[in-house]
Every structure is written in structure tokens, then in C-alpha cells.
Structure 1
Amino acid sequence: MIDAKVLVIDDNKSVLSALEILLQFEFKSVVTLFNPNQISSFPNITELDLVLLDMNFSAGVNSGNEGLFWLKEIQKRSPHTSVIMMTAYGAVDLAVKALKEGAADFVLKPWNNEKLLATVKSAYQLRQSRKEINQLKKKESSLKQVINDDKNAIIGNSKALAAVLNLVRKVGRTDVNVLITGENGTGKELIARELHRTSRRKNEVFIGVDMGSISESLLESELFGHQKGAFTDAKEDRIGKFEAAHEGTLFLDEIGNLSLPAQAKLLSAIQNRSIVRVGSNQPHNVDIRLVCATNCNLEKMVADGLFREDLLYRINTIHVEVPPLRERGDDILVLADFYLKRYTYKYDKPGLRINQAAQEKLKQYSWPGNIRELQHTMERAVILCEGNVLKPADFLLHSKIPTSFETGPKTLDEMEHWMILKALDQHDGNYSAAAEQLGVSRQTLYNKMKKRKVDDQ
């Protein structure tokens, strides 16, 4: 027995009785109505799976307009319910009209029981299909919202970051290809997501692909998909990232890691706006917004013969350079506070704060791993801290001197700054102790650091 609710509406009580007897052995719930005016007050009409509706209710009237009227009323109140119209032999043209108005099917009077049951069951399957499609649409909408939900918002107020975001907002409204460059950990993917969020494709999917993590043998299948049997493990058809991102944004991270053969295939897909799955000859058109990112110097790679110049031109209509954290001034402390709140909540350590000396240590550190390093540093500090205050000793920083000093200070000014940083590091950011070691006053030391910071900006 089918678990469905069926409503029969007819002004002929003999018809109602006959249909109720026939249908009750096939469907779990069968209800009858003699008067169609009761449709307006019928309880839980949206729960109905099927309605069998007569086309004429007034004596001597065979226009079918009454049935069409009530069909529309049912559709208004329960658009996913399947409606089957019932009519006499001479009114087939009216039944066809009803189909055009959205009826699922029609039954001729007098009916053949087997044919009627087959028609009703088919209409029930139509109802189930509509239900599933509606659920899939809701799931798709929710999934896109979850996928595109930016839980890692772009944090910071520095001029360097503001300039990048200003460019992103201008470019976001267009569909041009964008190349994002910057050091590891600077937040290139967040910039790509911001481009998507400000674009006309914001309600579609954002698909990210880490090109550096895909082996050469699987790259083509990953990007373009494959047909069943295309290779040993291809047990079913599979779409690639290009098709998955159709009408949305495709983000190719670490594009500088692509081999020259892979670059040629990528160039072809970008130029033609179509892909061919592995094992197939059938092209599939794709409509994507392409955003690429790398920490490599692609111009130098072109000069060295490691990257195709024509591909660089294709992906580099607009170039966005993400600044390293060391060039973002007080954003270091803004981000530190952001991650402090995240991890004090995650690890149930409310009330933690960073003292002034620790803040100075964070500000003076060069952050070679950028935001990613800062995030991990904050998480580790929160986990290991035993009090309510994070001190300089709670931050285990790997690099002792700025990146620019990796080959040694080159001028007297750099030498002085290097000595100051080294002293501050040795004394866990304590300015008084560092000043005493260097033979200057605390205020002099503070002024030198402040001047250096202004000069760097």
C-alpha cells in the first residue's frame, strides 16, 4: 500500500463511493468531497499527494470552467499536489486544456479500473518527483550558502589592506580573470572569496582547488572530469572542478606549480570556455569567473621557460598583490585579538588578555609565515597559558630578526635596529631591561622604535 493522501471531489455520490472503494486498497488515506466549495476550508491541504477533480459540478453545465477554476485554487494553496481531472468522453478537449493549466493527467468517465489506477500511480510519482526537486533546490541553496559562508573574515584597518580591498571591490563587479600574488599565509584565498562575494555570481558556488596538492596524473581528471572506464579507477562518470564551478567562481591556488603540459591544457580550457572530460570527445561549455593565486614570481618563471607567457596573460587581466603581515602595522594586534577571542572561546579560557610587553613583541616580529603563523602562534599561546595574562614568554616565535636582516644588516641604521630587536627578544619585550642592556633610556629606545615604525610605513 502506498503511503499517500488522496482527495476525490465529485458531485456524484456514486462516483465518490466507487473511487473510494477502488483506491482504499492502494493508498493509505482516501477522502471524498461532494461540494468543491469545501476546498477553501479543507484542513492541511498542502499534505495532499493527489486530488481527483471533476470538471463539472452544476447541472446542465459542461463547459469545464468550474473544474479549471478549482484546479487553479488547489494549485494556489498546494502547488506541489498532483491534480487529475475527471471528464466524460465528449470533453477530451477540456481535459487537454486542463493539462495546459497544470493538471497532472485526466481520467475519462466511465473509467477502466486498471487504467485509472495506473494513471493515479503515475500522478503520485510525479508528485514525489516534484517534492524531491523542491527539496534538492532547498538543499542546493543551503549548500551554496554554507560553501560561500566566509567564516574567516578579512580583518584589519591598515592602509596597505585598504588599498587591496578597494581594488577588489572595483574588480569584483566584473568578470575579468584575476591573479592574486603574495607570500604564503597572507590570505590570498580570503581575497579570492571577497572577489566572489562582491561579484554578480555571489549566489553561486565558489570552488577552490589547491593545484600544488594534486598529482600530475590526476590533475586533468580533477579539473575536467572523466567518463566511466577512462582509466582503471574510473568506475563512474565524474564532473571536474570546471563544471562544478559553472556560473560561479573557480579559484586555482598555487598555479605556479603546474607543469608545462598541464599549463597548455588549462590555457585551452580558459580560451575556449569549454572542457572535454578524460575519455570523452564531447565538449562541455563552462561559464566561470577565474581567479588564480601564487607565491611564485611568474614573470621570472616565464623568463626561465617554466611558465607559459600566453597563460600568464590570460590569468593576469587584473593583478592583486596581497601585502605581507609585517607591512600592515597595527593589523598585527587587531588579528592577534581576533584569534585570541576565537581560541579563548574554543578552549574555554575566558578573560585572557595580552599584556603590553607581549604586544610589543608581536608587533616587532617579522612574521615570515604571515597570518597563518600568527594564527597558530595565538592558538598555541592560549592552549599553554596557565594564567589570565599572555606574556612575552608565552609566544614562541621562531625568527629572531626581520626577514630583511636574514643576510645580515647592511647599514648602521639597520645594525642599530637589529641590536634593539635582539635585546627586546632577549628580555621578552621588556623595554626597560633592553634599554639598560643597550645603555640608553627607556624613552630613547621607545622613540627609536616608534620612528622606525613610521619610516617603514
Structure 2
Amino acid sequence: MAPRKSGPPFKRAVIFHLDEDVSSTFRNILEGRKIDVWEEKNLRDLRFTLKTYNPDFLFIGSGYVIKREIGFISSLKKGTDGLSIVVVSTLGDREGIHPFLDESIFSVILDPYHPKEIAHLIKSAEGTRRAEIQDKTLKGILDQIANPNKFFIGKSPNAIQVRKSIQNAKKDNAPILITGEGGTGKTHISYSIHVRPQSGLTSIRIYDPISEPERGRGLVKYVESLGHLDTLVIKNTQHLDSVELNGLVSMMKESERWGENLPRFILHHNPSHGIPHRFDGFSSLKKITIDPLRERRNDIRLLVDYFQNIFTKHVDGPKVEITPPARKLLKNYRWPYNVTELMGVILYGIVSTGGGAIYPFNFPDFITISDPFAMEKMSLENFFLSKLTPVIKKMSRHNVEGLYPIVLSRMEIPLIKLVLQETGGNQLKTAKILGINRNTLMKKIKKHKIVINEIDS
């Protein structure tokens, strides 16, 4: 990989082997800062991308790399000038990140579910071209992850039931089946159930049959290789083959009898695939069902308020305000990736504007496409306000003077061009529509070097 020269803030990032929810959060923050993002799922593709893409940043999950590729990742950093490598680790992985803490070349995020950590990291990286280790107390981590209300705010019957189910699941170590579409918060529920403030740090691992590098060994052998483990989260159970599924059911039954020797099992399942019949009749299996966000639209307003408030605390700038047109757009969108997508879209809008009022066009294109008239519904005053806000912020930092004539001249150029185009280049009609005399119009055309022939054509 070619050495990177010092220069402006980083503009390219690669995400490797992160949980879907965490990856979505990183992606939205990065893209909100106009940073290109690539995401890789396996080591071969990662090697190729790092060599050809030459990124400024690598966000990498700790679970896979710690065991197999710490040497490879270390060599990347030592041989590259300007590549910042960030190890992303959740509470349950804390024991495993010690090798990274011993390496000064790495930075570590302990709690990627909290946007403050990521936003602070990126802000630091833009200023110093390296990330800083985020130092949090045990109590702070437990408080942030263990509170299920953070992700399941809402007054819908389903939101209320999910919160009750989480509290009920904390009472014992019975296996749990969490059913919901992608982005509904299954991983967040799992950590909420696993983390019990009175028990301190305990061990948790996530097994995904889609991307797990140990898959070839089989689920049972994988569990046996882990040694003591308090909780095992198995994602995408709809992709387990019959052998793995039978092995899972057998282990859960063994766990009922010998709870101290096997972990607590928390299963994630997508309802579009149906529930495996092997789970039928499993009396001790607790079930938590999460409805998609589109089926509980009345919860969207409360979620928007919540995300707006927590993100506002970490934005250096005007108070964030999501305008009524933007709120209406958010409420009417179908949210195929549910709450995770909603959080990401709000975060995108806040990061891209730097605070202040957020309008529909401040959201990603795939949101505004669902309402093609979002721009037309905005008043002219609010449109100019939204466009001028980031400009004023930048100029205020550099002691710019004489702003009034600069802004007015930039605004009158497109206005004159549009009216000239509408009148077919007729200066007399244009002057009348604008409310100025023809001589004034001619002076402005000459001053701004507006070519009438090009407009007329």
C-alpha cells in the first residue's frame, strides 16, 4: 500500500466484520461527512481492498481479528503512513481486546451502540488523522447498554410488550427466541438481557452462520471451543442447516439440565422464513416478537424526538430541530430496515448539516425519493435559510468580512438568469419582472458576466 501524504481530513473508510447495526451507524456518520465507505465481509476481499482502495480509516470488529489476524493488521499499520485502524468491541468482548490495548497502533471503541463514541472518534480523526482510545467506566457502559428503553421507546402495544419481555428475560437463564426483521434491534435486546448491572462484566459471543469463519467446524464444536461462556447469541437461525439446528436444540436441552456448563442461548430469527418446527414444544424457550416499524408508525414520532435529543448533545453547533415537513417524511417512509435505519437517517441529517434546522432534502436520496415534492413544499425563506446555515458557520470561523454583498450577489445571479430564460432573453421584460430599470439590469449582466445567448439557447 502506498504511503499516504499528510493533508485534508480523511475521505475514505473501510468497514470489516462489524455487526449489522453497528455497521449501519458507522456508515451513516461517515457518509454524512461526505466520506466514501466500503464494506467487506471476508479477509481475502479486505486484503484486496486495502491494497487498491488505500483508505484513511479501517473500522474492524474484534471477534474475528483478535484470534487470527492481529499480526496481519499490525503489519498494515506499521507499513502505512496515515492509516488509522479502529477496533470495534462491545461490552462482552472486553476481555478479548487486551491484545489491542497493548499495541499503541490501535484504537478501541468499547461501546459502538452509543453515537457519542463514534462521533467523537471521527471528529478526533479529522483533526489529528488518528483516533483516540475511548475511556469509559464500567458503570457508564452498563448504563448505556442495559437500558432497553433506549431502543424501544414507544406507546404501541408491541413496544410496551417488548420492554416487559426484556425485563422478564433477565430473571433467569432460559433460552430466548427473538423474532424480527433486520434493524428491529434484536442485537440490542440481546445485550440488554445479557447485561445485568449487579453482575459486572460477563462473557458473551455472537455466532452468525452467514459470516462466522469457524462455520466449517459446526456449531456444536464451535461452542465447545469457547470454554466458559455466559451468553451465546446465534444470529440468522433461519440459515442454520439441519445438522446445526439439531445440535442447537440438543445443547439448549443440555443447558436446561446443566446450566452452569453451557451458555445461555439467545436466538435471532427473521419471521419471513417461518419458525423452525424443531423449536415447537420447547416449553422453556421464551419468545420475543418485534413488529416492523411500518406497523407501529405512531412510535416514529417518539423515536425521532429521542434520537434528536441524544444526538443534539454531541453536536457543536445550533440546536438540532427536525422541521415538520421532515418529520412527516420520516413518518410516511416504509423503513425496510426499521429503527436502525431511522436512527441512521437522523444521524446523517445532523452530521451533514452540522446542527440547526433539518429539512427533507438534508436526508439521504433514498428517503426524499419517496416524496418527490419535498423540495416544492418548502418556503423560499426556509430554503435559503437551510442553504446559508452551513456557509455562515464556515465563514464565522475564518473572520470573514463583507458577507452581505457577497451573499446578495450570489443570490441575484441565478435569479437574473432564470428570469432572462423565462422571457427569452428580453431585457425590458426581465427588468420589469425584477422591478428594476433596464440600465440597472444591463450593469448587473455585465458585472456578473451573464451570457444572454447561452441563456436564450
Q: Same fold (TM over 0.5)?
A: no
Q: TM-score with structure 2 length normalisation?
A: 0.44
Larger radius of gyration: 1
Compare relative contact order (CA 8 Å, sep 6+) and give the higher one, 1 or 2.
2
Q: TM-score with structure 1 length normalisation?
A: 0.44
